[in-house]
Amino acid sequence: MQTRREFIACTASLAAGSLLFANANTGDGKVKNAGVQLYSFRNEMLADATGTLKKIASLGIKQIESAGSSAGHYYGLSAGDMKKACEELGMHLRSGHVHIDEHWLHTIDEAAASGQEYLICSTMPTNGQAIENYKKVAAKFNKAGEDCAKRGIKFGYHNHEYEFETDQGQVLYDILLDNTDPALVHMELDLGWVIVGGKDPLDYFNRYKGRFPLWHLKDMNLAKKQSTEFGKGSLDIPAMLKQRKQAGLKYFFIEQEEYASTPFESMQANMDYLSHLSV
């Protein structure tokens, strides 16, 4: 029998799918509401945050995820000003990448002021590619999730490549998944780094159903271990998006760290690619 918690999770997953794909009832699975991780425009955001946000909005991007910078979590803007700038452009600040450090509680306060829904730890808070460290980190993540929940924010973790290394025959990323509370720790799966790590995102969607409400949608040149424009790398993007309900996807953020020309030209190419998909 389906529990109330399972029913709620399933309903939320179905609702999330409708946020990202138009006309689901008619079979028209056109992608909409694409998001972007602002690290893709890191230099431009530092030089002119509001001007860069306007250019991003002109690409048809609706969802924003911020990242830490030398000018703070919002590129020199206050949390309130960042929220206002996005709203005026018809965009939503949904998430932000941060560190769990001595400023952690202030970081949560900032996130609450910005109106964002998710606060994502972007790197492992302690070093050590061993099961023992990953279990300690999982406990820290559960506590961070409790801290965020008190302010109405969801906490999560974003992977890189190294989490898919093994210790004593166990994949370390699996240790995080197995030892964190799904109600408190929401995983942001970077699909590009998963395949660089030699794993298959679809395997994780099947084994840990509903655990991945956020994605970094990133195509990868495996030979160079670098991100590239959609369709030029090794990530099967249509196959990933077809499993969005299985994953529990709510928002995806395009992240591109290397570019053929400029970040704006690369992002336009990515948006053009998505516009031709029907999944």
**For residue 208, what are the CA distances in angstroms to 118, 177, 212, 237, 253?**
20, 8, 8, 19, 20
Q: What is the pLDDT of residue 26?
A: 36
Which regions of the chain are under pLDDT 50?
A: 1-18, 22-27
Q: What is the pLDDT of residue 18?
A: 42
Q: What is the pLDDT of residue 278?
A: 82
How many alpha carbons fall within 13 Å on the CB side of residue 164? 19
List Cβ neighbours of 68 (8 Å cut-off, separation of 6 or more). 97, 98, 99, 122
Full DSSP string of 208-224: STT--SEEEE-EEETTT
Q: What is the pLDDT of residue 19?
A: 54
Amino acid sitting at position 186:
H
The predicted-structure confidence for 107-140, as pLDDT tens digits, reads as follows: 999 999 999 999 999 999 999 999 999 999 999 9
What is the rounded CA–CA span in Å between residue 189 and residue 204? Answer: 9
Which H helix or E strand runs over 57?
A: helix 49-58
Q: What is the pLDDT of residue 30?
A: 76
DSSP for residue 13? H
Number of C-beta neighbours around residue 43 at 10 A: 9
Going 107 to 122 to 256 to 275, the CA torsion angle's sign is negative
The predicted-structure confidence for 33-45, as pLDDT tens digits, reads as follows: 899 999 999 999 9
Q: What is the pLDDT of residue 1?
A: 37
Q: What is the pLDDT of residue 6?
A: 40
59 neighbors 88 (Cβ within 8 angstroms): no
Nearest Cα residue to 234 out of 181, 194, 179, 195: 195
Global pTM? 0.90
Q: Which domains can be identified in the chain, with CATH numbers?
A: 4-275 (3.20.20.150)
Q: What is the pLDDT of residue 7?
A: 40
Across 99-113, b (16+ Cβ under 10 Å) vs e yields ebeeebeebbebbbb
Q: What is the pLDDT of residue 20?
A: 61
Nearest Cα residue to 229 out of 278, 190, 268: 268
